[in-house]
């Protein structure tokens, strides 16, 4: 399973190239979509691009010949995915998973979990350090406080270190650390 590049849902995908052409006698307008797409997105773009090309692609000399290639291409690509399974009805998107992770992390940080522990947990779960930092910055609004006694970092809304009870130092910005 991979992620569809247009709807960002986790689903079986296939690389496709679909084209659209609109001819207006002395000019033409092209549009295309290329990438790993799920069956639902391929279906949507196929019908949109192919029908527009079918009715508006012939109006011009270059457009006439382009349409002769575009329509069979789109139809061939569409036939190739007919047996492909579609995404699950409730497949989550990358954005959904990011929001879930951010909410979970925000809850852990509000309860006093040190940022370093939560960050290491994200990395150990398989995220890259960069992805874990992005989620962490989003969950903390980019700011945190440090404890001078135990050298741990906490969400900026906390006043005292949950580990040792010391007052937390001034807010530090992730972008400046």
When pLDDT is cut at 50, 70 and 90, the band that residue 86 belongs to is confident
Residue scoring higher pLDDT (30 or 172): 30
Closest CA to 71 of 19, 17, 15: 19
User: Do 80 and 31 meet the contact criterion of CB atoms below 8 Å apart?
Assistant: no
Q: What is the mean pLDDT of residues 13-36?
A: 94
Task: Write down the mean pLDDT value for the chain.
Answer: 82
Same domain, 98 and 75: no
Identify whether the C-beta of residue 11 lies closer than 8 Å to the C-beta of residue 86.
yes
| Pair 73, 116 in one domain | no
Please indicate, yes or no, whether residues 64 and 108 belong to a single structural domain of this protein: no
Tell me what the mean pLDDT of segment 155-169 comes to: 75
Q: Which value, to the nearest 10 degrees, does the dihedral of the CA atoms of residues 53, 54, 60, 62 take?
A: 60
User: Is 86 domain-assigned?
Assistant: no
Residue 164's pLDDT is 78
53-67, pLDDT tens digit by residue? 999 999 999 999 999
Is residue 88 assigned to a domain? no
If asked whether residues 68 and 44 sit together in one domain, one would say yes
Confidence of residue 24 (pLDDT cuts 50, 70, 90): very high
Residues 167 and 110 in one domain: yes
Query: Is 87 domain-assigned?
Result: no
The reply to whether 13 and 75 lie within a common domain is yes
At residue 147 the predicted structure's pLDDT band, cuts being 50, 70 and 90, is confident
The arithmetic mean of pLDDT across residues 132-154, rounded, is: 74
Sheet holding 153-155, edge to edge: 153-155, 143-146, 171-173
pLDDT at 63: 93
pLDDT of residue 142: 66
Indicate if 48 and 98 belong to the same structural domain.
Answer: no
Question: The domain containing residue 76 runs over which residues?
Answer: 2-80
pLDDT at res. 30: 95
- In this prediction, residue 23 has a pLDDT band, given cuts at 50, 70 and 90, of very high
Verify that 114 and 53 share a domain, yes or no: no
Is residue 130 located within the same domain as residue 164? yes
What is the average per-residue pLDDT within 153-166?
75
pLDDT of residue 8: 80
């Amino acid at each position: 399973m991979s992620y569809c590049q247009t709807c960002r849902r986790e689903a079986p995908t296939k690389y496709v190239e679909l084209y659209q052409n609109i001819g207006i006698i002395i000019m033409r307008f092209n549009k295309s979509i290329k990438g790993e797409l799920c069956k639902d997105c391929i279906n949507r773009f196929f019908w949109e691009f192919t029908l527009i090309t079918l009715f508006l692609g012939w109006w011009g000399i270059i457009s006439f010949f382009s349409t002769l290639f575009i329509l069979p291409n789109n139809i061939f690509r569409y036939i190739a995915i007919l047996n492909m399974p579609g995404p699950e009805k409730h497949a989550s998107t990358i954005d959904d998973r990011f929001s879930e992770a951010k909410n979970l992390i925000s809850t852990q940080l509000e309860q006093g979990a040190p940022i370093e522990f939560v960050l290491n947990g994200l990395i150990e779960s398989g995220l890259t350090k960069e992805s874990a930092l992005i989620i962490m910055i989003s969950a903390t609004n980019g700011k945190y406080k440090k404890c001078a006694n135990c050298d741990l970092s906490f969400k900026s809304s906390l006043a005292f270190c949950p580990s040792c009870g010391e007052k937390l130092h001034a807010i530090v910005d992730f972008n400046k650390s």
